[in-house]
Amino acid sequence: MARPKIALIGAGQIGGTLAHLVALKELGDVVLFDIAEGTPQGKALDIAESGPSEGFDATLKGTNSYADIAGADVCIVTAGVPRKPGMSRDDLLGINLKVMRSVGEGIAEYAPDAFVICITNPLDAMVWALREFSGLPVEKVVGMAGVLDSARFRHFLAVEFDVSMKDVTAFVLGGHGDTMVPLARYSTVAGIPLPDLVKMGWTTQEKLDQIVQRTRDGGAEIVGLLKTGSAFYAPATAAIEMAESYLKDQKRVLPCAAYVKGAFGLDGLYVGVPTVIGAGGIERIVNIALAPEEQAMFDSSVEAVRGLVAACKGIDSSLA
């Protein structure tokens, strides 16, 4: 059986890391696309030359032509510009919206059956725009944010509790970053909810609040340290987790920016919710009941996403 074909649209920091991870994990053959001439070709060749040492047979091709993504099973989109220190994700909106148009049209023409994972920021608005421009079914277009936000949360919690990251689960809802809604009562160490761990004296509510805030600011913390761009190792790993669940029909329960209509009282909006990802794409949205203060946080996150979508419509009249 032929290996799956994985198209990476954008060959920058995340795109290159994605290509490396796909090859190392032998998830499929890689097509790395970028408008910058030479960058995707150079990165693809460099990674391919690590094949003999690593022992993978996946092929890697760098290209500046959308025709090369033809028939891709998965497209992961990182095309656009990242944040610099002092910029918010929302500052990227105008530039990256134009990029989403060209990417959406490219995918619609050459890979209309793909499962599409968007990473470009501001995430919740860009995944919405990418779906509009591509015209693909809503269950096949999804945004990566919650897996990364929850991985950051899990990392900080594991360090705080001095336990394995594997035994820490985290549940986050809402938009990416600042308006993220971590649900402490559904976040656990080996099944023990965080509020119980506070009662058991494993940590204090203050420390937990600090960890939540650090998680919300997780992207900015890395931007501040790197100074020349934003995080790329953990974002790439998070998107690979989603792609693998689709390709292997794992039906993982993962928080993603998914199109929500009906659940959570929403009437059709991309926002971070727990989903089940399998061979059908987003197969299910896990619609949990929220406590009043959780609902209030979720509502303000939804309002922030609505504002960004309205801004997109204001910039590109074809979206209105």
Q: How far is the CB of 31 from ligand A3D (least distance, A)?
A: 12
Find the residue with minimal CB distance to ligand A3D: 12
Give the residue with the Cβ less far from ligand A3D, 11 or 189.
Answer: 11
Q: How far is the CB of 141 from ligand A3D (least distance, A)?
A: 14
- Catalytic residue among 61, 140, 176, 216, which? 176
The two most distant CA atoms of the chain are separated, in Å, by 58
Question: How many residues are given for the chain?
Answer: 320
Give the residue with the Cβ less far from ligand A3D, 153 or 202.
Answer: 153
CB 223 within 8 A of CB 85: yes
The answer to the question of whether 96 is labelled as a binding residue is yes
Q: Is 176 a catalytic residue?
A: yes
Q: Per-residue DSSP letters for 134-150?
A: H---GGGEEE--HHHHH
Question: Measured between alpha carbons, how far is 196 from 185 in angstroms, rounded to an integer?
Answer: 8
Question: Measured between alpha carbons, how far is 85 from 223 in angstroms, rounded to an integer?
Answer: 6
HSE (side-chain half, CA atoms, 13 Å) at 45: 6
Question: Would you give the distance in Å from CA 119 to the centre of its chain?
Answer: 5
The answer to the question of whether 120 is labelled as a binding residue is yes
State in Å, rounded, how far the first CA of the chain is from the last one: 43
Q: How far is the CB of 16 from ligand A3D (least distance, A)?
A: 8
Give the residue with the Cβ less far from ligand A3D, 120 or 188.
Answer: 120
The answer to the question of whether 152 is labelled as a binding residue is yes
Task: Summarize as ranges the residues that interact with ligand A3D (CB under 6 A).
Answer: 9-15, 34-36, 39, 78-83, 92, 96, 99, 102-103, 119-121, 123, 144-145, 148, 176, 229-232, 235
List the binding residues for substrate: 83, 89, 121, 152
Please identify every residue annotated as catalytic.
176
